[in-house]
Structure 1
Amino acid sequence: MPSPTHSAPRVAVLADSDTRWKWGALTARRLHPDARLDGYLLRGRATPTVRQLGEVGARADSLREIRGVDFVRETDRTRCDVLVLACVGGAVQAMVHGLAHAWRTDRRRPVVVTGYVGVVYEKLADGLLLRHGADVVLANSRHDADRFRAVYRGVGAPDDSVVECALPFLGGAPYRAPDAPRTVVFAAQPSVPETREARTYLLRRAVEHARRHPDREVLIKLRSKPGEHTTHVEELPYQKLAGRLPGGLPPNCRLVYGNMGEVLDRTDLMVTVSSTAALESLHRGIPTAVLTDLGVREALGNHHFLGSGCLASWDELDAGHRPEPDPAWLARQGVARGMGAPPGRSPGEYERAFDAARDRVAELAAADQLPPPAPYYTPRTAPGYLPGILARYGLDPHGAPLAGFADAPQEAGGLRRFARDAVREAARGAYRHGVQRVAPAIRRWGQL
């Protein structure tokens, strides 16, 4: 376990998707700017590809793919000062239980940190209780911190792990407004909205906006390419929907990929349903619209933006409307423009938003001994829920590796590794085909 005499701190990040890797790695840099960063990609449905990792742009000193049960078993992988769990709630809960079991006889252990990659608009109680047991649960805003503590207090669990900070990837050059918008970006989301009709509608409206304004460039910013997965499953990729639009895309409208920060460098109007990209855009002072065309509904996540001043429809945007955000709402969301700074600036207030988290982590890391992680969910409090979650990651109800997972095969080399990787990619492709093509068809048949 880590020694208090370390001169160069080490931070490990375990992530299970491209967006969570981005959040985890950048959070690690905020907590320890000069630390060695060792990255681990949790093997599963959304394990990021090389292209996705390159697009995210968050670098590590080492990076490898691993199973959750192996991460828990091989203590060398957690010989660090701070461990950031940048995973879905179930994976965080499994790792907390597994590591608590692995560390049960250790005097010292890493400080365990977790949190959310962006806007928290669904499964608030479920996701939070699955993250309980980490030493630090980061809240990206004052608004989230209040909600998180209320959930923990509501079940009688300690809430002192909740620490307010901000999203770690806000930043970029201040926006300088032209006389009229030149570049409009529609930030698409993998799972919002879900239906073909709704997604086709949004795509069609973006295309119509381009046709109405031939002097503007309309960019449809996509998170992944067909066959890739991100944090959420995308059953109806916009690439396929675009190929079926009558007349196709006009010359001033195109699909784009790439780092969101770089796309925002040339954006004059950001349009989305509920993407976290809206907060990135607002932070830089870019006019930002959260669409109401499909209603303001919890299922869409745009209810999170109530009171923001950003709610608007495509009809309003077509007519020239540019939303003006409410400063008080921005301040509660941890956005720099709402923290006393001039519009479009990234002030010292944003940098200081991480001070409390750094102080808490440093205080815990300096302790002679940390108590074992104590999650709210245990075999006593959730006997019908917890065992299934842990079993998905190869752990028994007490966090010990299950017999069927305990004897993990050694890393293969040469042709064996090539064959293993080929089989794994084929299996992933089959799974993605089932998720994206077969499952929706079965659901449609069931509705006949």
Structure 2
Amino acid sequence: MGSAVPRAVVLADSDSRWRWAALVARQLAPKHALDARFLASATTPSERQIAEVGIVPDTSRVVTHAELIDDPSLAEAELLVLGTIGGTALALIHSLGMAWEAASRRPVVVTGYVGVVYENVVDGLLLRVGSDIVLANSPHDAKRFREVYRGVGADPYSVVEAGLPFLGGQRHDPAAAGRDRPFTVCFAVQPTVPAGRAARLGLLDKLQRHARRHPDREVLLKLRARAGETATRLERHPYQALFDELPDPPENLKAVHGDMAEVLDRTDLLVTISSTAAMEAIHRGIPTAILTDYGVREAHGNHFFVASGALASFAQLDEGLVPRADHAWAAEHGIGGRDPFAAARARFDQLRDRVTPLPRMRPYYTPGNASDYLETLLGRHGIGLSGRPLPSGSAANPTAMRKLIQRGAGGLYRVGRKRVAPVIRRLAQG
């Protein structure tokens, strides 16, 4: 190694993925120096969001995909954790696999999932083939991940059972409510569920109603990002802006930012639609409600919590319901176990200390079995089939460019139909 202190590199493309990847790196390699690399994108986290995780990297910088490919120090690290979406993971596995083909050593490459896996299971798993370790967050996930890999001929032993790295914190103390603070209800927002402005305003109405009906409670609206910041997924109607528009919110309803773990320290009832914060709360023993008001639907992700004992409507919460999660369900889904990263640490140590070099990373998708799909995915990240960056302004990926243009045209049409046209009609009538 080029340094006396072994290094771990974390690559992240959003606030929540930085949190996941940094905590995974600390679990797998607690004594390693930590280098943070943030992929330049629309969701690159701010300095505040980076600091909020509570892990201070030894080095930190924003990089492009091309800079990563040509960074010689990356191959010298012992561990590389990819905190990215699946398509980005594929592009990195493809390009770095080629770049490191002749290298005498390379880092152990780890991928996984930031939260609960409730959709696009096969899609996401195949995009991560080629990484040395694919972390599964529970026994349930590990079983189905290995079944998928066996079914397509990928290595099922690359799947290693672990857990969500941010599960921890102090256990809930029910006696604290009324003794140290008011009974506190926290609603954890999500960037996309519910998505529409009317639905979000309706949700704020439910929070106001609950706060007025229970004046002895404190009701918190836990926000993901401050004005000007972005979260893992972009919000069309930020809750902060909608909250600021409320004409007369009750005094016991407050919007809060900050680390979710710190907010949970004073929470007695966590309410959400399907946020990963529910897993944190259940792990701590905090009563948790998964809202059914918008349906129990795969599109919302709250179907993941069927049989958890946590499903409830806001009307039931208004009446005083305090749901309790089922212990067997929690255990099967990786909640409440001891040292869930023991197996992952052992696998990392085994791969790091092997005598022969690690084999070349080989994605599932190749020019031989999925040339069109692979070219499109790589092109979205500015990478060609060669593993090298495409020339600036290159039209080498017309399929991806055509889809981008169509998506943009559709957005312009919707803006024109919903916003511009009504204004023109009102002016004409005036």
Q: TM-score, normalised by structure 1?
A: 0.85
Q: Give me the whole-angstrom Cα distance separating, in 2, the residues matched to 1:271 and 1:378.
A: 43
Letter in 1 for 2:217: R
Counterpart of 2:106 (choices 92, 100, 109) is 109
| Correspondence 1:386 to 2:374 | yes
Alignment partner, residue 360 of structure 1: 347
Q: CA deviation at 1:91?
A: 0.8
Look up the SS of the partner of 1:83 in the other structure. Answer: strand
Q: Confirm or deny: 8 A CA contact 1:379 1:398 kept in the other structure.
A: no
Going from structure 1 to structure 2, the CA distance change for 1:443 and 1:327 (only over 3 Å counts) comes to farther
Q: How many angstroms does 1:71 deviate by?
A: 0.5
**Per-residue CA shift, 1:287-327, capped at 9, x if unaligned?**
11000011100111000001100000101111111111111
What SS does the aligned partner of 1:382 have? helix
Please, which runs of 5 or more residues in structure 2 have no aligned partner? 395-407, 423-430
Partner residue, 1:417: none
Structure 2 Cα separation of the partners of residues 323 and 442 of structure 1:
45
Task: Name 2:315's counterpart in structure 1.
Answer: 315
Range that drifts further, 124-133 or 323-332? 124-133
Q: Which residue of 2 aligns with 1:238?
A: 239
Shift of 1:374: 1.2
Residue 423 of structure 1 is matched in structure 2 by none
How far does residue 240 in structure 1 lie from its aligned partner after superposition? Answer: 2.0
Taking structure 2 as the reference length, the TM-score comes to 0.89
Instruction: Please name the residue that 1:261 is paired with.
Output: 261
Shift of 1:9: 2.2
Count of matched residue positions in the alignment of Structure 1 and Structure 2: 403
What's 2:188 paired with? 187
> Quick check: 1:235–1:440 contact (8 Å CA) kept in 2?
no
Q: Hey, what does 1:250 align to over in structure 2?
A: 250
Query: Which residue number in structure 2 is paired with residue 28 of structure 1?
Result: 25
Counterparts of 1:275 and 1:217, CA distance in 2? 20
2:191 matches 1:217 = no
Residues 442, 240 of structure 1: CA spacing in aligned structure 2 closer, same or farther, 3 A cutoff?
farther
**Kept after mapping to 2: 8 A contact 1:69/1:405:** no
Contact persistence 2:76–2:105 (CA under 8 A):
no
Alignment of 1:122-161 (within 5 A): 122-161=119-158
Match of 2:427 in 1: none
Structure 1 residue aligned with 2:46, among 44, 49, 59?
A: 49
Does 1:374 pair with 2:366?
A: no
Task: Kindly report the root-mean-square deviation, in angstroms, between the aligned alpha carbons of the 2 structures.
Answer: 2.3
SS at match of 1:403: coil
Match of 1:229 in 2: 230
The structural deviation recorded for 1:439 is 8.2
Query: Equivalent residues in 2 for 1:288-307 (5 A)?
Result: 288-307=288-307
Any conservation in 1 of the 2:225–2:231 contact (CA below 8 Å)?
yes
Paired with 2:413 and 2:83, the residues of 1 have a C-alpha distance of 28
Any unmatched runs of 5+ in structure 1? 340-348, 407-433
Displacement of 1:227 in angstroms is 2.9
Q: CA deviation at 1:226?
A: 3.0
Q: Deviations over 1:166-225 (max 9, x none)?
A: 111111111110367711000000111212222222221111100111111100001012
CA–CA separation in structure 2 for the residues paired with 1:16 and 1:197: 30
Q: Which residue of 2 aligns with 1:429?
A: none
Quickly say closer, same or farther: Cα 1:442–1:91, change in 2 above 3 A.
farther
Cα distance in 2 between the residues matched to 1:207 and 1:366: 57
Amino acid at match of 2:94: H
> Structure 1 residues 292 and 404 mapped into 2: Cα distance closer, same or farther (>3 Å)?
same
Partner of 2:34: 37
**Counterparts of 2:70 and 2:4 in 1: how far apart (Å)?**
26
Looking at structure 2, the residues matched to 98 and 188 of structure 1 have their Cα atoms a distance apart, in angstroms, of 36
For residues 182 and 133 of structure 1, do their structure 2 counterparts lie closer, same or farther at Cα, with a shift above 3 Å needed? Answer: same
Opposite residue 335 of structure 1, the aligned amino acid is I
Asked whether the equivalents of residues 69 and 393 of structure 1 are also in contact (C-alpha less than 8 Å), the reply is no
Relative distance call for 1:278 and 1:385 in structure 2 (3 A) is same
